[in-house]
A and B are shown apart, each in its own frame.
Chain A
Amino acid sequence: MKPGTRAHLVHGSLMLFAAGLVCRAAYVQLWQGQRWSVQAERQQVTSDKLPAPRGTVFDIAGVPLAQSRAVVSLAVAPREVTSADSVTRALAALGVDKRTIARALDPRRKWVPLARLFPVASGATVRGLRGVHVQRAVDRAYVGRQSTQRILGHLGANGRAVDGLELSLDASLRGHDGTDASVRDALGGRTSSPGVEGVEAEPGADVVLTINQALQDISERALSDAVVKMRAEGGDIVIVDPHTGEIRALATYRKDPRSMGSPALSETFEPGSTLKPFMAAALLVRGLARPDEAMDVEQGVFTVAGRTVHDIHKADTLTLREVIAQSSNVGIVKFSQRLSAREQFETLRDFGFGTPTGVTYPSESGGRLRPPSRWTAMSPSALAMGYEMSVTALQLALAYAAFANGGELLEPALVKEVRTSAGIVSYRHERRVVRRVVPREIADTVRSMLRETVAAGTASDVDLANFAVAGKTGTARRNVAGRYVPNQFTPTFVGLFPADKPQYVIVVKLDNPVGAYYGGKTAAPVSRVVLEAAIVAQNAALDRGALAASALLRAASPAASAAVASAEEPASDVAPRLERADTPVVFTLPVARPVGRVPDGARAVPEVRGLPLRAAVRELHRAGFRVRITGAGGVAGTVPGAGAVLPAKAVVRLTAAP
């Protein structure tokens, strides 16, 4: 073969080879490109799920109550482990027990996930170990005690909402998961690459509740102390803002560890005498009774529909006001006989009984209120006394809120605001009136009756020295599974604080206390503890300006605060002044509201009840009063009572009891 021909042959072969390569490359790139790139991505690019943090839940003051925290979950692939000693040491340092470590290193197993979640820093310490796989996760941390947790609910092991607000607000709180994509090298290391981008996780929306955590803490503590002291089975406290329907506190304490959820919303009870003011309102609205109309209460014994009704306080006659203040069963039964069954039913239904309130909570009970067609001959009387029906603590609070706000039944709110992760407000609670249940004048009249119940009736234990409180006690026989349990009671107190311009409606309910069981002696004092603590708390959702005006109004004229019905802004151009420099705690409130004139040199009688006689005398002298002692022993009280405003050097009679 000629050299030239041979060279051409070689060149031709090379050209053909090159053309073949180009054709193959074109085939691989153009025809098979998609398939190969998918396969390459599968081999070289690794993608982990980035769990989206759930939104934070705040209280109304901005305190976080539930927060998502980044954590890691660990899993061991025993067959990939090259240094069992290093893995053992690392896991032991993270607090993993020996048995789990042994299981995690058992080569018969392919994959051993560790049940616990670990801080993100732990992930960094084990990241370099072969066979230990780290995966990002999100944990939920809750601030607050038992009751707050009951409201908020829980997340299951898979991160899904199980109950409480976590469940009812899941659509808002839940975010959108992202992905963390990176390029994997030959040794299994990971490198970010501009060509391989993940997707950022989108956090869930933040939720601001109407709950005030300080008030919640106060309520929880007062309740748990009371339950332990009174050896009760449990109890609930609900505090509602009567002007907006916003729930400020929902405290629950149960000795039974199986108790779940928020019983103040889901458990019902017979309200007992706390229902009597609604009968009074029904009578007043229809003009069937006047507040000062007297009724023969038969010395506290009255038979109706074959059953005898008794009163604790025996009397010949009582006015409607006194019937409420003294909680006379005979009186309210006889007054309510003027109402037809339909009128009685409609009144209770209008106040929201027998229907769920619609609060944002997954398990709310509507209570029980049977229609008149299913009533017995005894039912009208039983209902007037708060039996044959059941309510939740929240329903009771909202119904009383109507007496505090001029007669409107409000929709309750547990959620104040929802903000997206971008900070946009997607929901804000607006005050919503369900219906007007009574005219303003009637609401104010009933409120004045409730004030008398505290000032001189069954709830006198709740009265405060500086503020007037209105309210009603109730002591119902305990109904378990449709039967009354002998010697078991459900004492209740519903209070409006302060009485003239209520900022709180507080419901305290105790389950089966041992010993004293009357609402006025059990539930009412718990309300007093809550109110006392709330007044001096830094932030307990109280308008201190309005509160100071209420305090001064009471100080100026204790009687004036009783007549709360239509208390207008007191007009005065003189700044009020109270002089009690010797008292231990002084608060300066940012108010400059002119109220009624206080006599110069006037001062309030300090509370000395319970003090040793000598200490009480010293306290009264220090306050600038002269003291006259009656009896010997511990101090039972003073006349005039604590909080009364007297001129300096006035005589205060100290009654002592052995």
Chain B
Amino acid sequence: MAIVLVTFVLISVAVVWRRTAGIARARELRELSQRRTVLVAERERLTAEILEASSRGHLAPLAERKLNMHLPRDSGYVILTRPVARR
């Protein structure tokens, strides 16, 4: 009878321990998943900001205002072609 009781207690402890460990891992996974969501959202926000900051619509006025740059007039550039091997 005592052996049965001890076995029962041991099995119960094992079950409870397993469940507790499982719940702890699940909680950890959930937190990691939440952190991942936060980081992914942050990455998306930063990517969008970088795209906006590097877009022509944003950069062109800045380049003109702060760096005094300007687009060349149509006579202000030359188109060069790659040389073709002469026969």
Contact call B30/A192, Cβ cutoff below 8 A: yes
- Give the interface residue-count category, chain B: 35 or more
Which residue from chain B places its CB closest to the CB of A578 in the assembled complex?
B78
Q: Tell whether B12 is near chain A: CB-to-CB under 8 Å.
A: no
Chain B residue contacts of A569, Cβ below 8 A: none
Q: Mark A129-165, 1 if CB is under 8 A from B, else 0.
A: 0000000000001011100000000000000000000
Given the known interface contacts A143-B51, A536-B77, the answer about A590 and B82 at a Cβ–Cβ threshold of 8 Å is: yes
A→B interface (CB under 8 Å): 63-64, 67, 69-71, 119-121, 123-124, 127, 141, 143-145, 182, 189-193, 213-214, 217-218, 220-221, 464-467, 528, 531-533, 535-537, 547-548, 551-552, 573-578, 580-581, 583-594, 604-607, 642-643
Chain A residue contacts of B86, Cβ below 8 A: 573-575
Report, nearest first, the 9 A-B pairs whose CB atoms are least far apart.
A607-B75, A217-B57, A465-B75, A217-B56, A120-B41, A192-B26, A585-B77, A464-B74, A575-B84
Distance (Å) between the CB of A199 and the closest chain B CB? 15
Distance (Å) between the CB of A591 and the closest chain B CB? 5
Distance (Å) between the CB of B33 and the closest chain A CB? 8
Chain B residue contacts of A592, Cβ below 8 A: 81-84
Q: Tell whether B60 is near chain A: CB-to-CB under 8 Å.
A: yes
Q: Tell whether B7 is near chain A: CB-to-CB under 8 Å.
A: no
Contact call A217/B81, Cβ cutoff below 8 A: no
A-B contact count (CB 8 A): 154
Which residue from A120, A217, A578, A581 sits with its C-beta under 8 Å from B37? A120
* Bound Cα distance A276, B74 (Å): 29
**What would be 16 A-B contacts, judged by CB atoms less than 8 Å apart?**
A63-B51, A69-B41, A70-B37, A121-B38, A190-B30, A192-B30, A221-B57, A573-B86, A574-B86, A575-B82, A578-B79, A578-B80, A587-B78, A605-B75, A607-B76, A642-B75
Q: Tell whether B9 is near chain A: CB-to-CB under 8 Å.
A: no
B→A interface (CB under 8 Å): 23, 26-27, 29-30, 34-35, 37-38, 40-42, 44-45, 47-48, 51-52, 55-57, 60-61, 71-84, 86-87
Chain B residue contacts of A573, Cβ below 8 A: 84, 86-87
Chain A residue contacts of B55, Cβ below 8 A: 63, 143-144, 213, 217
Chain A residue contacts of B30, Cβ below 8 A: 182, 190-192
Chain B residue contacts of A221, Cβ below 8 A: 57, 60-61
Contact call B83/A575, Cβ cutoff below 8 A: yes
Contact call B74/A583, Cβ cutoff below 8 A: no
Which residue from chain A places its CB closest to the CB of B75 in the assembled complex?
A607
Contact call B44/A70, Cβ cutoff below 8 A: yes
Chain B residue contacts of A583, Cβ below 8 A: 75-78
Which residue from B41, B60, B80 sits with its C-beta under 8 Å from A586? B80
* Bound Cα distance A604, B47 (Å): 44
Chain B residue contacts of A467, Cβ below 8 A: 74
Distance (Å) between the CB of B20 and the closest chain A CB? 11
* Bound Cα distance A537, B74 (Å): 13
